[in-house]
Chains A and B, each alone.
Chain A
Amino acid sequence: MKAYVYVSLKKSVLDPQGKTIQGALTKMGYQGVEDVRQGKFFEVTLDGKLGRDAAQAEVERIAREVLTNPVIEDFRYSLED
């Protein structure tokens, strides 16, 4: 089983990297871009010893306690068999 965790900056927090990419895209002539937010993506391979519910709880704990800094970041995740 694999867990995919996406970490991004909270909407209220300025994302200078995203802004820079957005500026570059506009400069390069790409159309229709309104905003870019940069984030992190984690692919966590689980060893299968936990059941689905327990795995989900564990992944959520990992994401909240380790992978994000709650002062500036949010996360979401998905599980896939």
Chain B
Amino acid sequence: MAMKFGVIIFPGSNCDHDAYWAFKEVFQQPATFLWHDSSDLQGCDAVIVPGGFAYGDYLRTGAIARFSPIMEAVRKFASTGGLVMGICNGFQILCESGLLPGVLMRNKNLKYICKPVHIRVESTDSPFTHSLRRGEVLEVPIGHMEGNYYCDEATLQQLQKQDRILFRYSTPEGTITPEANPNGAIDNIAGICSEGRNVLGMMPHPERASETALGMTDGVRILQALVTSGTLK
């Protein structure tokens, strides 16, 4: 059964059209844009918080976006089990909004980094990874200045204990090493989910690795999982 996807547009979002294209054209799903100033989720089954520079990343990444009416609606939606996926700036916004713990800090080399990285699937217990194999390695690009995930020790232990780390940066062979960590993220974390497992935040961009024309296709595996997550219920 098809799912309806809603892609939020904040002032400064710039991967909104990319996410829309991926769900609408690559996966042939119903999709719509959601304007930041509205609190109407238009009956979407899943909300995508896209990449970009919402409000120019001024103050802090995601710090202003979290106050928009649409995020209030997203909070309610998530609290009733609605699916929310934050990619890159979307991950930052979800952290600022309190939908996910922790924060994304400046990359340890202080520079913006755009390149393909490898991530290892750490848990298949989520709507975003159910069709993947635990331990499999995906090649997906990153593109960010603030992707250095940080949280306090207690939160980290909780994430680990509750199996909420879905992706970690790894070597192509699947080993977790400091060299494979592009941005200094604690515990090589590339993506985590909420306690209810219905909210995902990840720094890599699966939509940038979703067609052969783009030279990378592993992102399809993640998006496909989400598109087929309706079958889980």
Contact = CB atoms under 8 A, between A and B. Distances in A.
A15 to B, nearest CB: 9
Contacts, number: 28
Interface residues of B, number: 18
Main secondary structure of the interface of B (DSSP, over half): loop
A69 B108 contact: no
A44 interface: no
A69 B109 CA distance: 21
A39 to B, nearest CB: 12
Interface string A18-43: 00100000000000000000000000
Nearest to B148: A16
B110 A20 contact: yes
B59 interface: yes
Contacts of A71: 95, 101-103, 150-152
Interface residues of A, number: 9
B60 A69 contact: yes
B96 interface: yes
A62 to B, nearest CB: 11
A13 B101 CA distance: 16
Contact of B63 (A16, A17, A20, A66): A66
B105 interface: yes
B103 A16 contact: no
Interface string B122-140: 0000000000000000000
A16 B110 contact: yes
19 contacts: A13-B105, A13-B150, A16-B106, A16-B109, A16-B110, A16-B184, A17-B106, A20-B110, A66-B63, A66-B67, A67-B59, A69-B60, A69-B96, A71-B95, A71-B102, A71-B103, A71-B150, A71-B151, A72-B150
Interface of B: 59-60, 63, 67, 95-96, 101-103, 105-106, 108-110, 150-152, 184
Interface of A: 13, 16-17, 20, 66-67, 69, 71-72
Given A67-B59, A72-B105, 6 more contacts: A13-B105, A13-B150, A16-B110, A66-B63, A69-B63, A71-B101
